[in-house]
Amino acid sequence: MATKRITMRKIREVLRLHFAAQLSVRKISASTKISVGGIQKLLTKARALSLSWPLPDELDDSVLASQFYPRADTRPSQRFEVPDWPAIRKELTGKGVTKNLLWEEYTQQYPNRCYSYSQFCDRYMTWLKKQKRSMRQVHKAGEKLFVDYAGQTMPIVCNATGEVKFAQIFVAVMGASNYTFCEATWSQSLPDWIGSHVRAFEFIGGIPDMVIPDNLRSGVSKACRYDPDVNPSYQQLAAHYGTVIVPARPRKPQDKAKAEVGVQIIERWILAKLRHQTFFSLAELNHCIKALLLEVNNKPFKQLSGTRQSWFESIDKPALAPMPKLAYQFTDIKHVKVNIDYHVQYDNHLYSVPHHLVGEKLELHAKDNLIEAYFKHKRITSHPRKYHPGMTTTSEHMPVKHEKHHKWSPGRLMNWAKDIGDDVLLWVKAQLAQKQHEEQAYRVCLGLLNLSRSYPADRLNNACAIANQYSLYRLKHIKDILSSNQDKLPRTQEEPSTLLPQSHENIRGPKSFH
């Protein structure tokens, strides 16, 4: 760190008070407001130069400065040297860099033509206020990535049907350099939101300290000014990449000014240029966006030197954390309760879990090809994901002896069914016989028996009789019979053939066809 420069006037005063007035270092410090350490360094340098008081007439400020600060620019001038304010602002984006440090380096370079610290700060703030609104905030290098969706959408025409769909435009902007990424997706749903983040990280080639989203429902499940709830999948994305999600406060656009300006630039410099083109696929649209995005990031700033690309390469990129070896795979997180048959359901398919977890609440993580079950943040099992209705059961999950499960058994289910009616018992037996494991039929049997809470036993028994007659073994068939009151229709035990006449003048027998 550079040594703080002391003016020539104060150096002369320190030498006078020490050599002529014979004051102690602490008294000199109280008089000149220079630190004790600073005074000691000056006096050590003065002794090395064999200086005394009074100073020789030929030792003017320029010569004196060259002796105390040999590397400084000591050229005499009647005007102050104006700092390079854009360079100052760029330096301030670096971690640990302060205005005081930059002022000290400035005074080291121009000891006779420098502003005081207060003037330095005041003139810098005056210059800063004249810049664009997006440049007023000071963002540290590699610290923040602002993300949002543009209000404008892009139409895409289906080749086969001519139907027009509207693609959403995702925008991400680095805080310090304004380096911008954008792409089109079909929706603002959670999978598209997460996927756009993954591709944005790949585009910038690193991970920022923080991601600042708007309070979009996909990313923030509950908006709050002080303590917003971040979607579990979004939080998992942040944990995978080692970053932090800090949602902007509701109705506070200044918290995401970078994203607001970034969206405006994308709408003006990309979407407006594409307004007369017709796109027939999302890939075609993203191909054009990618080409124009390159122009945006290499377009020179109007009031600053360089481009978004050059600023990113020199400021943000060196400060970004490295990418993980594997990209994040979207995971849908769902809270489920383990049923009596020790299975949990996701997307119309049942997956088994250890039987001792019957009645417990689990966290289900669904990926493209894998289903994982977590209990108290510990993974307990996993299954290949199935995209069709059915049941996946692992034999290790089946119970041997367990209180929660074995309070239900085939015998108990059949006894309960028999109490309702013989036809109910036949229907339950058919269910138990159809399954590879009897436990797999428990859920549907319980569903049938629980209908006795809503319907009298005779109606439920009649409905099962109809279902048994026509081999209807889905629970929804029983419900349909009951809701349509088919079980109330009169039934006859006689065969249909006995109800028709066996001989009639209009009825011909086999002899008529010889």
The continuous run of DSSP H or E covering 267 comes out as none
Would you say residue 448 has pLDDT above 50? yes
User: Please, which pLDDT band fits residue 407 given cuts at 50, 70 and 90?
Assistant: low
The continuous run of DSSP H or E covering 107 comes out as helix 99-109
What pLDDT is recorded for position 112? Answer: 77
Q: Which residues of 184-209 are buried (b: 16+ CB within 10 A; e: fewer)?
A: bbeeeebbbbbbbbbebbeebebbbb
Tens-digit pLDDT profile for residues 157-168: 988 888 899 999
Tens-digit pLDDT profile for residues 201-224: 999 999 998 888 876 555 554 444
The span from the CA of 216 to the CA of 228, in Å, is 11
Which of 229-238, 274-283, 461-470, 480-489 is predicted least confidently?
229-238
User: Please, which pLDDT band fits residue 286 given cuts at 50, 70 and 90?
Assistant: very high
CA 276 to chain centre: 33
Concatenated DSSP letters of 327-347: PPPP-EEEEEE--TTSEEEET
Work out the average pLDDT over 423-437. Answer: 84
Work out the average pLDDT over 477-488. Answer: 89
Higher pLDDT among residues 183 and 130, named by residue = 183
Work out the average pLDDT over 245-272. Answer: 75
The span from the CA of 178 to the CA of 199, in Å, is 17
Work out the average pLDDT over 326-352. Answer: 88
What pLDDT is recorded for position 254? Answer: 54
The span from the CA of 10 to the CA of 355, in Å, is 83
Concatenated DSSP letters of 74-105: ----SSPPPP-HHHHHHHHTSTT--HHHHHHH
What pLDDT is recorded for position 63? Answer: 78
pTM beyond 0.75:
no
Residue 448, judged by CB atoms within 10 A of its CB (0-12, 13-18, 19+), counts as buried
Sign of the Cα torsion 352, 353, 354, 358 reads negative
Work out the average pLDDT over 349-357. Answer: 90
Average pLDDT across the chain, whole number: 81
Percent of the chain with pLDDT over 70: 83
Structure tokens at 478: 């029983």
Tens-digit pLDDT profile for residues 51-82: 888 887 777 777 777 777 776 655 544 577 88
Residue 468, judged by CB atoms within 10 A of its CB (0-12, 13-18, 19+), counts as middle
Report for 53-62, 301-310, 402-411, 492-501: range of highest mean pLDDT: 301-310
Q: Where are the domains of the chain?
A: 8-109, 144-319, 332-403, 408-488
Would you say residue 127 has pLDDT above 80? yes
What pLDDT is recorded for position 513? Answer: 58
Which of 96-100, 242-246, 454-458, 464-468 is predicted least confidently?
96-100
Higher pLDDT among residues 258 and 430, named by residue = 430
Concatenated DSSP letters of 121-175: HHHHHHHHHTS-GGGSS---TTTEEEEEE-S--EEEE-TTT--EEEEEEEEEEET
For domain 144-319, which CATH number applies: 3.40.50.1980, 3.30.930.10, 3.30.420.10, 3.40.30.10?
Answer: 3.30.420.10
Tens-digit pLDDT profile for residues 452-476: 888 998 999 999 999 888 888 888 9
